Structure 1
Amino acid sequence: MIQRIQTVYLLLGALALGAMGLFEVPWSDPAAQRYAWFVPSVVGLLVVSAGTALGAVFLYERRKTQRTVVYGLQLLTIVLAGVLYGGLYTTGTLTFTAPTGILWGRTVVLLLPIVAYVLFRLARRGIENDIELVESVDRIR
């Protein structure tokens, strides 16, 4: 299970999504005070996405199901990024810089869903390689 590279990618993607909860940007932003839906949506999508990523690790014996779950996970991550960016954009706080310099906390929070998406895409590619390998071995027999 842990020997497979897609397991590492799934765990790193779940860790990237979980790390978003450590920063104060989504929770104390003007979008959180202005929109009642913002924080529950972000929290719900974070929990569901990270939980699905951890659950997908244990589907290693059913590769085609795992591939489908990871594809859905990629879509959830896109929805999470859309909610996060949309909420920040409508309040005018979708920026990386301030007059004092770069806002590192905000920059990291805005990049974590993208990093998670890339990791989930790499995991799906690894799963697809495994599926092709198993099918090629079955043809040889």
Structure 2
Amino acid sequence: MIQRIQSIWLLIVALAAFATYTLTLYIGKLSDGTARPFLLADNFLLVIIIIALGSLAIVCIFLYKNRKLQFRLSILGVIFSIGFLFMEYLKVEDFKKTNNILTGSYQIGALLPVVMIIFFILAARGIYKDEKLVKSLDRLR
């Protein structure tokens, strides 16, 4: 289980997902000069999705005996991570409009979903290589 590199990639995905929950996504400056942060905890739907993505990565780690399902769930994780990133962008844009933000900047919490996508892809690639290796060894028997 842990000997496989994709287990490490999936663990990084889970850590990034749970770190996204705690970190600030965006900080905007209001017209009076005060800073207002946008946290993931401010939006219930985003919280549910990020917890589901982190849990999906952990479940994938323990599905090491069923590589086909593990591969499919990793691809599903990529798709949902892309959807999460898009929804996050839309929520931040809505936050900027409703709070009359003059200037602002994205924080590290907003970049972690990109890290999740990359490591989900790396994990899926590793799982695919393992499956290919097992099939080639089965042909030799």
Q: Measure, in 2, the Cα distance between the counterparts of 1:7 and 1:25.
A: 27
Q: Aligned ranges for residues 56-95 of structure 1 at < 5 Å? A: 56-92=60-96
**Alpha-carbon offset, residue 29 of structure 1:** 2.2
Aligned length: 128
Percent identity over paired residues: 31
The question of whether the paired residues in 1 share the 8 Å contact of 2:16 and 2:112 is answered with: yes
Letter in 1 for 2:71: R
**Alpha-carbon offset, residue 92 of structure 1:** 3.4
Q: Which one has the bigger strand percentage?
A: 2
TM-score by length of 2: 0.81
RMSD, aligned CA: 2.5
Q: Measure, in 2, the Cα distance between the counterparts of 1:90 and 1:109.
A: 17
For residues 2-59 of structure 1, the C-alpha deviation after alignment (integer angstroms, 9 at most, x for no partner) is 0000000000011011101221336942998xxxxx7011100011000011011010
For residues 82-140 of structure 1, the C-alpha deviation after alignment (integer angstroms, 9 at most, x for no partner) is 110111123438xxxx97xx95xx33112100001000000000000000000110111
67-76 or 1-10, larger mean C-alpha shift:
67-76
| Structure 2 partner of 1:45 | 49
Q: Measure, in 2, the Cα distance between the counterparts of 1:110 and 1:140.
A: 47
For residues 53-95 of structure 1, the C-alpha deviation after alignment (integer angstroms, 9 at most, x for no partner) is 10110100000010011111111111111110111123438xx
The question of whether the paired residues in 2 share the 8 Å contact of 1:46 and 1:80 is answered with: yes
Which structure 2 residue ranges, 5 or more long, are not aligned? 27-35
| Structure 2 partner of 1:3 | 3
Letter in 1 for 2:75: Y
Which structure 1 residue ranges, 5 or more long, are not aligned? 33-37
Q: 1:31 to 1:17 in 2, by over 3 A?
A: closer
Letter in 1 for 2:54: A
Q: Give the secondary structure class of the aligned counterpart of 1:29.
A: strand
Q: Does 1:109 align with 2:109?
A: yes
User: Highest Rg: 1 or 2?
Assistant: 2
Letter in 1 for 2:15: L
Give 4+ residue runs of structure 1 displaced > 6 Å after superposition.
none
Q: Measure, in 2, the Cα distance between the counterparts of 1:28 and 1:40.
A: 16
